[in-house]
A and B are shown apart, each in its own frame.
Chain A
Amino acid sequence: MKRFLILAMCWGLWSMASAEGLFSPPNLPKAKAGSQCVDNPELMRKQHMQHILHQRNQTMRQGIRDGKNSLVECVNCHVTKTANGDFPSIESKDHFCAGCHQYAAVKIDCFQCHASKPDVIVGGK
């Protein structure tokens, strides 16, 4: 009985912790106003890499550029200027991707090569 109670408590704690709020990274920057994500945000939080991986091979190898799941578009919407008017560095918590990845302690490789800020001319503002 005691063991069952401990298990039940652990399960209760885990489900509370997994719920929205307790484990969500603090102060994630908001995406560009009036924009709509390519998929349900809940799903994107877990599966954004699957979307990007699929698109990346198609674009790189076959030249398919319909842009729906393009990383450039992710950055254009999600990386917004900070209070001082500059785009945040990928090292900073103010960067949408870095904010969450630092919190989750998952390394991002994308921005070793890809631009982490919107194009000043195309996606800027």
Chain B
Amino acid sequence: MTNQLNRRQFLTLSSSLMLLTIPVAANPPRPLDQPVTSQKRWGLLIDTSKCSTGCDACVNACHIDNGVTGHNRPATDAQWIRKVTVKDKQTQKVTSLPLMCQHCENPPCVDVCPTTASFKRADGIVLVDKHLCIGCRYCMMACPYKARSFIHEKVENQKPHVPRGMGTVEACNLCVKRVDEGKLPSCVEACKNAGHNAILFGDLRDANSEISQRLQKVSSAALRADMGLNPGVRYENL
């Protein structure tokens, strides 16, 4: 065997090298002075078999990091994420799962908003622009996941990166600032730190991302798939 490559070997080798490098080059981190694009779509895959009943690490981390405070009035206090326990009446199987804004591809909250305050960013994150929100709460009624909350009372000592104010609607923003900075959302990090690792975050448009690879292999479900909203949050083992 000789060390020299023939033409065929050279072409095979160079094209496979190119194939290896293209996906890396196509997904560089976004410079923060550039707008987000639809080349990415952020999503979550939640493995309910790893989610522990009674653990609310994700809820606490979310509410602490985003400065979501309440007044000990569960009926009206804001909730960006909540733990839901469901039981199959036939089999008695109990499942615990975190439920937050599902960051739909076709979000009904955006459809109904009369002021375009509710909008979907190019990378799939559904947000409320509080500069435009008039607090009509149509979006809260339209959301089938009950993901949004209304702020009834004056808010003080907000986190600088999470503006919240009386008279506006809010919901999980997928920790948009952290995501822009290349970090994981708070709930994902908290779940990892709690040792459960039930929430996987990543780019649904990138076929090589961990989340896309996993979605190709396992069966997962969208909540209320019948509505055709195509949520960015999917659940495994539900």
Contacts and interface: CB of A to CB of B under 8 A. Distances in A.
Size bracket, chain B contacts: 20 to 34
Interface in B167-191: 167-168, 176-177, 180-181
Given A112-B166, A114-B158, A64 B131 contact: no
A38 to B, nearest CB: 15
19 contacts: A60-B127, A60-B131, A61-B129, A62-B36, A62-B122, A63-B176, A64-B32, A65-B32, A66-B32, A67-B32, A72-B161, A113-B155, A113-B163, A113-B164, A113-B168, A114-B158, A114-B165, A117-B157, A118-B160
B206 interface: no
Interface residues of A, number: 22
Interface string B147-163: 00000001101111101
A123 B160 contact: yes
Given A112-B165, A112-B166, A63 B160 contact: no
A5 interface: no
A63 B163 contact: no
Contact of B159 (A61, A63, A65, A119): A119
Contacts of B30: 63
A61 B119 CA distance: 8
A119 B33 contact: no
Which residue, of A58, A114, A123, has the highest number of chain B Cβ atoms within 10 A? A114
A64 B180 CA distance: 9
Interface in A63-116: 63-67, 72, 75-76, 112-115
A61 B121 CA distance: 6
B32 A115 contact: no
B35 A115 contact: no
